[in-house]
Amino acid sequence: MVNRTHLAWIYSVVCLFASLSAFSEPAASQTLNPKSGKAYLSASMIAMQNDPMANPISLWLEKGKEIWSSSGSQTSCQQCHGQLEDNKSVATQFPKWSSKFKKLINLEDQILECSKRTSEKFNGLEDSNLLALSAALHQQSVHQSFTLRPPQNSNKAWQSELNAGAQLYTQRIGRMNLACTHCHDQNVGKRMQTDLISPGNPTGFPIFKMSWQGMGSIDRRLRACFSGVQANVPLPGSRELRQLELFLKMRAEGMPIEGPSLRR
Ligand code: HEC
Ligand code: HEC
């Protein structure tokens, strides 16, 4: 489906790349630009992000904390996992290889899975209460970095998911025939519509995006990038989205997690 916002995005992609006759192939080793998306926001958005009274994310954090400890008729998250504040580095470990599901799962997948043990009924991965919990858990890991390592018993499987993610990152897709790397490595800092292209680091999720009027997961953001270049958009929860998430987080190794963040 192409709506007006989408058309504007496409138009700005065309403008951005019109001057370049052809793209050089991505270099074999990408040098990481360790700047987060926050560095590419306007001064007024950064001010809003930094002011808890003005930042809409504050309400989501409160909501997440509330759901964590509320039990309804069944067990609460807290009854199995302890205080929210004791779950300091949980968000640093996802996506993880799940030997049960034989695939990578991210934090939102795990929360959805765990909700079946509670009386919370979430309507899919972008459910606002699920995202509030994700935001609250990510907030506990602020200033830490991702700690993603292959599990001992599934080392090969994990490695092949990572390789698939790296491959997807450099593969041209969509009618625009562009790969992630063309924007997030080769055109960082250039203007697209009213956005400045950032290096695509995954340290500020979930995001409260003004144009969405709400919170969205990394899954949703990646799907928006597929849609922007007019590629087939993977379904929420698709294997390729988790492979890309793993690759992006390995690529951002050592960067501090900023927690849930405002975006335009
Ligand atoms: C035509 C350019 C373009 C392509 C190709 C593209 N993106 Fe994006 N992407 C953007 C723009 C513009 C934004 C919003 C501004 C920003 O944060 O970079 C964005 C945002 C992001 C973000 C969020 C960064 C943040 O801090 O909020 C991630 C992660 C990301 N893209 C990953 C990807 C991946 C993975 C691919 C390949 C599947 C991809 N992008 C393809 C233009 C692109
Ligand atoms: C009845 C106990 C139980 C309840 C209630 C429960 N969980 Fe879990 N949770 C587990 C178990 C067991 C695991 C280990 C992985 C698995 O089996 O899914 C887990 C794993 C997790 C993890 C990954 C932890 C890690 O260190 O890897 C997160 C995050 C999580 N749960 C969040 C939640 C949230 C949010 C809720 C409330 C909506 C919740 N859980 C409710 C039992 C529970």
- What residue's CA is closest to ligand 2, atom 30? 111
What backbone phi and psi angles, to 5 degrees, belong to 169? -65, -30
Interatomic CA distance for residues 161 and 116, integer angstroms: 27
Check pLDDT > 60 for residue 166: yes
**Distance in angstroms (rounded) separating the CA atoms of residues 201 and 189:** 13
Q: Is 134:60 a contact under the CB 8 Å cutoff?
A: no
Residue whose C-alpha is closest to residue 133's, from 176, 173, 81:
81
Ligand 2 centroid–CA 111 distance in Å is: 7
Confidence at residue 97, expressed as pLDDT on a 0 to 100 scale: 97
- The response to whether residue 225 sits with its C-beta less than 6 Å from ligand 1 reads yes
pLDDT value of position 19: 45
The length of the chain in residues reads: 264
Give the integer Cα–Cα distance in Å for 126 and 115. Answer: 14
Q: Which residues contact 22 (CB under 8 A, 6 or more apart)?
A: none
Query: In angstroms, how far is the first alpha carbon of the chain from the final one?
Result: 22
Q: Is 182 in the pocket of ligand 1 (CB under 6 A)?
A: yes
Rounded to an integer, the average pLDDT of 34-56 is 96
Evaluate the CA torsion angle 236, 242, 247, 249 in order and state its sign. Answer: positive
Structure tokens at 106: 């991210």
Mean pLDDT value across the chain: 92
Residue 130 burial (CB count, 10 A): 24
Mutate to test the pocket of ligand 2, among 110, 131, 217 (most ligand atoms within 8 A of CB): 110
200, 128 contact by CB (below 8 A): no
> Each residue of 78-110: pLDDT tens digit?
999 999 999 999 999 999 999 999 999 999 999
Q: How far apart are CA 75 and CA 72, in angstroms?
A: 7
Centre of ligand 2 from the C-alpha of residue 244, in Å: 24
Is the Cβ atom of 96 under 6 angstroms away from ligand 1? no
Interior angle at CA 85, CA 83 and CA 89, nearest 5: 115
